[in-house]
Chains A and B, each alone.
Chain A
Amino acid sequence: MSEPVLELDDVRVVFKRGRGHTVTAMDGISFRIAAGETLGLVGESGSGKTTTGAVALGLRRPTSGTVRFLGAAQGRRRPRGARAGAVQAVLQNPHWSLNPRLAVADSVAEPLAAVEAGRLRTHHPAALRILDQVGLPASFAQRLPHELSGGQRQRVAIARALITRPSFIVFDEAVSALDVSVQAHILNLIHDLQTEHRFAALFISHDLAAVRYLAHRVAVMRTGQIVELADAHRFYTAPRHPYSRQLLETL
């Protein structure tokens, strides 16, 4: 097993809601994700899976426990220097995933411009290349988000995440707002891109079917704890934890 891309070791996150009333979103979460591997993270809303995603992305510092990315402990909130652009995300709501005032090419080029400086225009060629990889012809480059369908917008979001050749991507409910047929396209796309780019992926979803299609390993979260972490095939055929069985029943 090569060096894990991302490693969470006994991570806890506690929120203060009003005086004296605290909520534990993550209660001792530990897992590893290797390059080219996808960990599916499933659970009901309020199970803490979104907070886990935020901690993995470095958006939120854990109350305790360590988060190691490519071996180095992740200190500050905003990735700096070499590791900037190594971590990317594809988030849920296609309607707001892109800046309505920016053309597609600019949105996709932005992460590269943040890493390698320079104006957005200079990175358009790279943007066009990556757009082609997600199945969008060059003619989409100058379009505005309101001219695209939900599926096309999610493709642009994926292209934006890939342009800096990240070693780790978080998919937070990336397909749950899409129609079944469009969802199929996106799932196939993610699968093919991972084979080619070999990034590590954390696929967060409440849709067990979609997770089964992509994940190599599956973690089930409930009220801030991982109740089961297993290889995907074994998990879907013989789930051990009763809560996992309950979830699979509805599939």
Chain B
Amino acid sequence: MTVGTPPLLVIDDVVTEYRTATRVVRALDGASLTAGRGETVGIVGESGSGKSTLGLLTGRLLPSGTRCPRGRVLVDGESVLDLPPDRLARLRRERLAFVPQDPIGALDPTLRIGRQLRLALRDTPADLAALLEQVRIRDPEHVLRLYPHQISGGMAQRVAVAMAMARKPALLIADEPTAALDSQVREEVLRLLFTLAAENGTTVLWLSHDLGGVARWCARIAVMYGGRVVEDGTTAEVLSAPQHPYTGALLAADPARAKGGTRLLTIGGTPPVLSDDPQGCVFAPRCDSAGEDCPAVRPAPRTVAGRTVLCHHPGGTPETVPARKESAR
């Protein structure tokens, strides 16, 4: 994080609640995250951890049924949660950009690609063909005349990246941009996204479940669990020596990292569904190194080995890994 210049994005102790007909679900329970200009942050967490809500929060794109009773969100100094609609729209137009999870779904099915790009970029003059070549789409003239359902997921995502970066955003938020793509295409899109962001000095928030991808592309990683950022530090250090027990468990469960023949270490119990202020650490019931204070006292952020962790006993090592019974051939 480049010290001195004020951080581009400040999310400070934000609580967000979805109100459905029958009950209230708390998606964020005091999440905090800051990101400077040009930083690349990977936000990792399983479904129900609140990472998608965090992404939407930055652009205040939460549906009408949600409320944020606590916390602040500052983008480039402007408090997003209190902005009037027209200034919020200007903020989204000039400072923010989003890369969608379902690339084809994010394009208007009834308009040709070229027409949609002209509409979206009507106030930033850009040569569309050059724009598409920049994201390495062969034969851009042909693609501009196609409809969204006539192009592949990979190509659609490249168009989305081109559309986003053409507006030179200060902050780019990508929520699982490559979930629907095949491995090769996934690598290409990521390479495009991060190189263009770097050239433009855009801060990137990448919400993902692909630990390997985050390791390759993001300087910083933030692990989320139960609506809070439980560990936030430089990627290499966090992945090699996780301080928070959940991070450790997550790494152990990833088949890509499991060495041949070892049994995957699974986390017992099920992810929490919060409805109000929880007592103590929400990971306590599933944590192997939980002490008596964990369920009682809500852990405060502390810096350990150059990263911030929300845990009373950081640094616990995962238990030994039992050998796997080989099934007879």
Contacts and interface: CB of A to CB of B under 8 A. Distances in A.
Contacts of B266: 181, 184-185, 188
Interface in A164-214: 179-185, 187-188, 191, 194-195, 198, 206-210, 212-213
B328 A36 contact: yes
Given A212-B260, A251-B212, A183 B255 contact: yes
Contact of B184 (A179, A182, A250): A250
Interface string B195-233: 000000000000001011000000000000000000000
Interface in A1-28: none
B255 A206 contact: no
Nearest to B256: A209
Nearest to A251: B256
A213 B264 contact: yes
B183 A180 contact: no
A68 B187 CA distance: 39
A36 B47 contact: no
A45 interface: yes
Interface in B219-259: 249-250, 253-256, 258
B327 interface: yes
Interface residues of B, number: 29
Nearest to A198: B327
A212 B262 CA distance: 11
Interface string A59-72: 00000000000000
Contacts of B168: none
By secondary structure, the B interface counts as loop
B182 A44 contact: yes
A117 B211 CA distance: 48
Interface string A26-67: 000000001011000000110000000000000000000000
Interface residues of A, number: 34
A181 B182 contact: no
Interface in B168-194: 182-184, 186-187
B112 to A, nearest CB: 22
A236 interface: yes
Contacts of A45: 182
A179 B212 CA distance: 15
B236 to A, nearest CB: 19
A251 B69 CA distance: 42
Contact of B209 (A179, A213, A216): A179
Nearest to B46: A179
Contacts of B184: 44, 246-247, 250
Residue with the highest number of chain A CB atoms closer than 10 Å, among B46, B255, B258, B263: B255
A191 B327 contact: yes
Contact of A233 (B46, B260, B329): B260
Contact of A180 (B209, B260, B324): B209
Interface string A145-157: 0000110000000
Nearest to A37: B329
B255 A209 contact: yes
A94 to B, nearest CB: 11
A207 B178 CA distance: 13
Contacts of B297: none
Contact of B254 (A37, A191, A208, A209): A209
B253 A180 contact: yes
Contacts of A183: 253, 255
B311 to A, nearest CB: 18
A181 B256 contact: no
B64 interface: no
B46 A195 contact: no
Contacts of A233: 260
Interface of A: 34, 36-37, 44-45, 149-150, 179-185, 187-188, 191, 194-195, 198, 206-210, 212-213, 216, 233, 236, 246-247, 250-251
22 contacts: A44-B183, A45-B182, A179-B46, A179-B209, A180-B46, A180-B211, A184-B253, A184-B255, A184-B266, A185-B266, A187-B255, A187-B264, A188-B263, A188-B264, A191-B324, A195-B325, A206-B182, A208-B256, A212-B255, A216-B329, A250-B184, A250-B212
Given A184-B266, A250-B212, 9 more contacts: A44-B182, A44-B184, A45-B182, A179-B46, A187-B264, A206-B182, A246-B184, A250-B187, A251-B256
